[in-house]
Amino acid sequence: MKVLIFNGSPRLNGNTRTALVALKEEIEHKMPDAETELIDADRKNVSGCINCDACKHNGGECVQEDDTVEIIQKIYDAEILIFGSPVYWWGITAKLKLIIDKMYSKSEQLSKIKKKVGVICVGMAELTDPEYKLITDQFQCICDHLNWGMVFSEAFVSENPESLKKNKEKLTEIKELHRKFM
Ligand SMILES: Cc1cc2nc3c(=O)[nH]c(=O)nc-3n(C[C@H](O)[C@H](O)[C@H](O)COP(=O)(O)O)c2cc1C
């Protein structure tokens, strides 16, 4: 069972990656048949979708010479997808969005395969602020469009890059999210 995890934060020591690594390790521990991979969106070369629609006439491959084809194939092959992002201006980061936009290249094929999706976002604002619901709603729409099942969307509040590392209770909560995939 392939589990693909996307980190949308450019801060590799930040809260989003801390949450995702904790969940990844718990999945590896509790779901031994899981083959996990974490992709740092900021370390990938993915250009913006230009709606040229070449992918719609060649079986679903983006024609731009970057990492898109490799990443979208990994999404296609995974049964579980976890998207993690800091909140940037009430939404996910641009680097993660670039990858999501490229799912357009294989959207017909992707919608024919059942997937379980989890979402983790980390912001500075309190949980009653609208960004967390906006992000959840966006992923819910994407999942509905592709016939995928969103099994959780969780938000966490941070004060600095170390916040989650110091919050053992929250980290335990994050690890427990692996149960949603069982
Ligand atoms: C460009 C930018 C925009 C941000 N916009 C928001 C926002 O709209 N709402 C919010 O709660 N936090 C916002 N933040 C704070 C980050 O979400 C917060 O610092 C988060 O912990 C970063 O995640 P990381 O530690 O994984 O990098 C913003 C930070 C940056 C750099």
Taking the CA of residue 90 as reference, the ligand 1 atom at the shortest distance is 8
Angle (CA) 51-67-12 rounded to 5° is 115
CA distance 114 to 169: 32
Mutation probe of ligand 1 site: the residue of 12, 17, 88 with most atoms within 8 A of C-beta = 88
pLDDT tens sequence across 137-147:
999 999 999 99
Which residues are CB-neighbours of 24 under 8 A, at least 6 positions away? 3, 5, 36, 38
Atom of ligand 1 nearest to the CA of 164: 25
Give the pair of three-digit tokens for residue 49.
Answer: 């979708």
CB 84 within 8 A of CB 121: yes
pLDDT of residue 53: 98
In this prediction, residues 4-30 reach a mean pLDDT of 98
Cβ 16 under 6 angstroms from ligand 1: yes
Question: Which residue among 124, 138, 159 has the greatest number of ligand 1 atoms within 8 angstroms of its CB, and so is best to mutate?
Answer: 124
Tell me the pLDDT tens digit for each residue of 37-60: 999 999 999 999 999 999 999 999
Q: Give the pLDDT confidence score for residue 80 in this predicted structure.
A: 98
**Is ligand 1 within 6 A of the CB of residue 88?**
yes
Rounded (10°) angle between helices 68-77 and 94-102:
70
CB of 122 shorter than 6 A to ligand 1: yes
Nearest CA to 3 among 42, 41, 33?
A: 33
**Mean pLDDT of the region 155-181:** 97
**What pLDDT does residue 78 have?**
98
105-131: average pLDDT: 98
- Full set of structural domains in the chain with CATH: 2-181 (3.40.50.360)
Residue 60 contacts residue 108 (beta carbons within 8 Å): yes
Q: How far apart are the first and last CA of the chain?
A: 11
Q: 54: CA distance to ligand 1 center in Å?
A: 35
pLDDT at 61: 98
Residue 157 sits at the vertex; the CA angle it makes with 153 and 161, to the nearest 5 degrees, is 115
Strands annotated E in 22-164: 35-40, 80-86, 116-123, 149-157
What distance in angstroms lies between residue 123's CA and the mean position of ligand 1's atoms?
A: 5
Measured from the Cα of 125, ligand 1's closest atom is 11
**Host H or E run for residue 124:** none
Of 47, 98, 109, residue with least CA distance to 76 = 109
The 3-state DSSP class for residue 30 equals: helix
Q: Does 68 contact ligand 1 (Cβ within 6 A)? A: no
Q: Are 93 and 143 in contact (CB under 8 A)?
A: no
